[in-house]
Structure 1
Amino acid sequence: MIIVDKLNKIAACTAALLMFTAISFLECRAADQGPLLLLVHVTSRLNDISLNQAHYILNNGRLPGKMVTPFHVFVDAKIETIIKRRFPSLNFKTCIASNTPPHSDQNALLITDMGGIKSSMKVLSINNNYPWGVTNADYTISDSDAYPLMVKGISFFDKSLHVTIVQTGVTAMTRAFMRTVNKHGDIYRPIRAVEAITSAADLAMTSNEVSFVPGCSWPLKDRMLFCSPPPYFDILKKSGFDIIELTGNHNNDFGWNYNTASMVMLKEAGMIYFGGGENLSEAMKVRYITIKGKIFSFVGFNQWGPPDAWATESRAGALKLTRERFIDLISEARKNSHVVFVTVQWGNEDNPVPHEIQVEYFHLAAEMGADILVSSSSHRPMGLEFYRGKFISYGLGNFLFDQMQTIHHRQGLIARHHFYDGRHIQTELIPYIIHNYSEPVPVHDREAKELLDDVYRYSRGPVFKK
C-alpha cells in the first residue's frame, strides 16, 4: 500500500511537471510571435480578407484570381529580414512605415507590425479578426485572440496597451426630437441602434449643444431657442458618454443659469466636460483623463458665437476661440499628455468644403502636436485630412438631432479611434442615417458606400491627392 501511494505521488508530480512545461512552452511560443499586419489605402473597398488570401498576397503580391491588379507592396524596414526569409518570392520596396508610409498610393499594400501602423492607412482584418478583436455586423467589437496571421519575430500585441475612444457629432435633443420621443413613449428609443457601440468604448464623447431646462416641452415657443427636458440626461448616461464637449452655441439659449445647472448634472453623474465652463476660468481648462496608464487631453473652442454663448468671468458658456488661447491651451495639453484632442465649433455648419480658417487652425494644431482634430459644428459629414500624419475630420455630422431636410443632414459618422501604447493607430468611421428625427441607425453596403464616397470626395491633402 505504501509503495502504491508513492507511485501515485510520483505519477502526480510527473503529470504536474509535464503540464507546467507545456504551459511554459505555450507562453513562450505566444510571446515569441506577433501579428503581421497588412495595410491598404484608407479609401480602399477592401476591408477583410481570408487567411488563404493573405498568404497568397504574401507570396504573389496580389489577390488570387484573373485580371487582378497587383499591389505596390511595401515592407517596413524593421521587419524586412523576416519577410524575406518567410516569403522569398515576394517582390517589394522597403520603407520606414512609422515615418514615410505609402499612404498616397491608392494601390499600395504595406506590411508591418503594431509599431508601424499609421492612421492614414487602413488595417485589413483577416478572417474578420484584428489583433484587438472582431468587428461584428452591428459595428460592435468582441474580444478575440483569433487573429490568424501570427509570425515569429514580429512584436507581441499587448491588449492592455490598446484603447478605444468613440466620438460623435452634434447632440441636440430638442424640437422634433422631443415630439418623436413623446410619440413613442420610449426615452431610449433614439439610441437603441448605437448604444452598444458608444457604451463599449474605453471612453465615449459627444458634443452636447443644448442645456437641460425644467419644464422644457414640445412645441418650443421659438424653434431656434433650444432646450432639452431634464429626463433626457439619462440618454447621455445610458449611451455611456464619459466626456462632454460644451462648445455649442445654444447652451445659453434659456439663460446661462440653466447651462450652469446642466454642468452640475454632468459633475454629479461623473462626466467630465471641456470647451465650456461655469465661467471663463473653467472654460479655459484643459481636461485630462488617464486610460490604461496613458494621459489623454481635451481642448475645445467656439469660433462663431454669438457673444451670448461665450463664457465670461461671471457667466457660463463656451470658450471663445482666439489664436492666443488656441496656442496656449494646445501647448499645455501637448506638454502634459500622450494624446491631444482638439475640437472647434466653427461657423461652417453645412458647406462640405472647409473654410480657410478651419484649415489654417487645424494645420497649426497638428504642427503643435495635436493628434485628433474635429469640427464639431457640422450638420452633415464632411471631408478628412491627414496633415503631418494627424487625423482631421472637418465634420462628423448630426448625431442626436432632428434635422432631416436633406439626406446629408440625416447622414452621420461615429469615429472610433484606436490607440496603442499612447499612439493613434486607426480611426474607424461608422456610418449611419437618422430616422424619425431622432434615431441614428448604422448602415452597410450601398448606403455606407455612398456616405463614405461623399466624405472622400471632399477630403483633402496628399493622402487623397487633393
Structure 2
Amino acid sequence: MKKYLLVLCVFLLVLVASLAAIFKDEPVKIVFVGDILLARGVGEKIETNGYEYPYDNIKRILKDSDITIGNLECAISSRGTPALKKESLLFRAAPENAAALKEAGFDVLNLANNHTMDFGREGLMDTVDFINSAGIKTFGAGKNRETAGKPLYIKVKGTVVGFLGFSAFPSEGYFFLEDQPDVAQVDIESLGEEVKTAKENCDVLIVSFHWGKEFDFYPVESQKSAAHIALDNGADIIIGHHPHVLQGVEIYNGKPIFYSLGNFVFDRQIPRGTDETVMLKVEIEKSKIGKIELVPLKIIDCQPTEAGFDDGVKILERLKLFSEGMGSDIDIRDSRGYISLPLFDN
C-alpha cells in the first residue's frame, strides 16, 4: 500500500511540475490604460447613467486579459478633509464606483498620483479599502511610507509580475510624514535600489510613473532620467501618466517606455489631444515583454471608445511623430499600432 502511495505522490509531483512548465510558456496578457477620473463631469454622467457608464464601450477589451491596470485619478470615499487647493481640482467619487471598476474588468489600480490624497489621509485609506474589498489590487499608496512604496506581485500562469508606482508630485496641501498615509514619491537617489530589490522577487517588473508637464506631447529630461534608471536596474517596461495627452514612446536598451498614455476616462477635452488615447495590449512570453499592440481610442462624453479607421490612424500617426528619435518603430496596420522589441537578453 505504501508503495502505491509513493508512486502516486511521485506522479502528482511530476504532473504539477509539467503543468507549471506548460503555463509558464503561455503568454500573459496585460492591458494598460491611462488616467481614470470618476469625479467632476464624469461623476455627473455617472449620476445620470449609472456606475458602469464610463466603460460601456470598451469593457470587452478590458476583460480580455489576465491583468488589466489603470491609474485612478481620484479618491473613492464619502468622507475626508479637502486638500488646500482649487475646488474644481478636488476629485472624489462614490464608493459604489469600486465594484463598477471590477465589473468593467480592472484587476490592478495605481494610486501614486497627485489626486489620491485630495480628501486627505482618511480619503486615501478609504480608497484603498473600497478598491481592495471590490477585488482589485492597488499599489503606489499606503498607510505609511514603507507600505506606499511596497511592490505588488501577482502570479499568473506561472509568471510573477511585479508593480511599482511613483508620483513625481507631492500630495497637494499636505506635509509628507513617513508614519502617515501617503502616496509613493520618486526619490531619484533611491530609485535604482528600490527597482533592483523589487525585480529580485518577480519575473517581469512594471514601473509606473505619474510625471511630466500637462498637455505637452514630449517628455522632459527628468522623465527620461527616471525611466532610464528604472530600466537599468531591472524594470522591464515603463508606463507613464499625468500629462493628459499622449507622449512619445522610447525603446531604451530593448525595453519600452510609454511616457504618457493620456486620459482614459475623463471629462474636459479642451486642449488638443486630451480626447485621444491608446490602450496597450502587452504579452509576456517566457518572462519577457513580447508583443505590444496599441489600440487607439477617442473619449466621447466621458466614455473611451474605439476610434474609427481614419481617427485611429491619425492618433497613431501623431504618436509616431511624438516618438521620432526615440528608437521606437510603430507599425500601423488596420488602424492598430504594433511595436516589435529588439531581441535583447534583458
1:193 aligns with 2:57: yes
Superposed structure 1 runs of 4+ greater than 6 Å apart: none
1:365 aligns with 2:227: no
Task: Determine the C-alpha separation between the residues in 2 that align with 1:383 and 1:196.
Answer: 27
TM-fit CA distance, 1:327: 1.2
- Equivalence for 1:299: 164
TM-fit CA distance, 1:306: 4.0
Task: Determine the C-alpha separation between the residues in 2 that align with 1:230 and 1:453.
Answer: 39
Deviations 1:317-337 (CA, angstroms, capped at 9, x unpaired): 211110233112210122221
- Equivalence for 2:16: none
Q: How does 1:97-246 map to 2 (within 5 A)?
A: 161-183=26-48, 185-214=49-78, 222-246=87-111
TM-fit CA distance, 1:271: 2.0
- Equivalence for 1:450: 314
- Equivalence for 1:101: none
Deviations 1:98-120 (CA, angstroms, capped at 9, x unpaired): xxxxxxxxxxxxxxxxxxxxxxx
| Secondary structure of the corresponding residue to residue 259 of structure 1 | helix
TM-fit CA distance, 1:235: 2.3
1:312 aligns with 2:177: yes
Task: Determine the C-alpha separation between the residues in 1 that align with 2:257 and 2:207.
Answer: 10
1:401 aligns with 2:270: no
- Equivalence for 2:248: 383
Task: Determine the C-alpha separation between the residues in 2 that align with 1:310 and 1:204.
Answer: 32
Structure 1 pair 186–397 and aligned structure 2 pair: CA distance change class (3 A) = same
- Equivalence for 2:283: 418
Q: Which structure carries more relative contact order (alpha carbon 8 Å, separation 6+)?
A: 2
TM-fit CA distance, 1:284: 1.5
Amino acid at match of 1:207: N
TM-fit CA distance, 1:435: 0.8
Task: Determine the C-alpha separation between the residues in 2 that align with 1:176 and 1:243.
Answer: 24
Deviations 1:164-185 (CA, angstroms, capped at 9, x unpaired): 00111101111011112223x3
Task: Determine the C-alpha separation between the residues in 2 that align with 1:326 and 1:410.
Answer: 32
1:271 aligns with 2:132: no
TM-score, L = length of structure 1: 0.62
TM-fit CA distance, 1:349: 2.4
| Secondary structure of the corresponding residue to residue 247 of structure 2 | coil
TM-score, L = length of structure 2: 0.82
Task: Determine the C-alpha separation between the residues in 2 that align with 1:384 and 1:257.
Answer: 36
Task: Determine the C-alpha separation between the residues in 2 that align with 1:211 and 1:388.
Answer: 36
Q: State, as a whole percentage, how many aligned pairs show the same letter.
A: 26
Task: Determine the C-alpha separation between the residues in 2 that align with 1:463 and 1:434.
Answer: 25
Alpha-carbon contact 1:187-1:235 (below 8 Å) kept: yes
TM-fit CA distance, 1:315: 2.3
Amino acid at match of 1:203: I
TM-fit CA distance, 1:213: 2.4
Q: How large is the RMSD of aligned CA atoms in angstroms?
A: 2.1
Task: Determine the C-alpha separation between the residues in 1 that align with 2:35 and 2:46.
Answer: 18
TM-fit CA distance, 1:250: 1.1
Amino acid at match of 1:193: N
TM-fit CA distance, 1:379: 0.3
Larger Rg, first or second structure (1 or 2): 1
5+ residue gaps, structure 1, are: 1-156
Deviations 1:44-65 (CA, angstroms, capped at 9, x unpaired): xxxxxxxxxxxxxxxxxxxxxx
| Secondary structure of the corresponding residue to residue 35 of structure 2 | strand
Deviations 1:348-367 (CA, angstroms, capped at 9, x unpaired): 22211110011111112222
1:431 aligns with 2:296: yes
Amino acid at match of 1:178: G
Alpha-carbon contact 1:209-1:247 (below 8 Å) kept: no
Amino acid at match of 2:269: M
TM-fit CA distance, 1:388: 0.6
Task: Determine the C-alpha separation between the residues in 1 that align with 2:115 and 2:175.
Answer: 10
- Equivalence for 1:322: 187
| Secondary structure of the corresponding residue to residue 413 of structure 1 | strand
Amino acid at match of 1:449: V
| Secondary structure of the corresponding residue to residue 207 of structure 1 | strand
Task: Determine the C-alpha separation between the residues in 2 that align with 1:178 and 1:266.
Answer: 17
5+ residue gaps, structure 2, are: 1-21, 81-85, 331-346
Alpha-carbon contact 1:304-1:347 (below 8 Å) kept: no
Deviations 1:403-440 (CA, angstroms, capped at 9, x unpaired): 2113400111111111112211111111111111x100
Amino acid at match of 2:178: E
Task: Determine the C-alpha separation between the residues in 1 that align with 2:190 and 2:117.
Answer: 22
TM-fit CA distance, 1:307: 5.3
Task: Determine the C-alpha separation between the residues in 2 that align with 1:339 and 1:320.
Answer: 22
Deviations 1:221-280 (CA, angstroms, capped at 9, x unpaired): 921111112222222111221111011111111221011011111222232211111211
Alpha-carbon contact 1:311-1:318 (below 8 Å) kept: no
Amino acid at match of 1:284: G
Structure 1 pair 428–268 and aligned structure 2 pair: CA distance change class (3 A) = same
| Secondary structure of the corresponding residue to residue 93 of structure 2 | coil
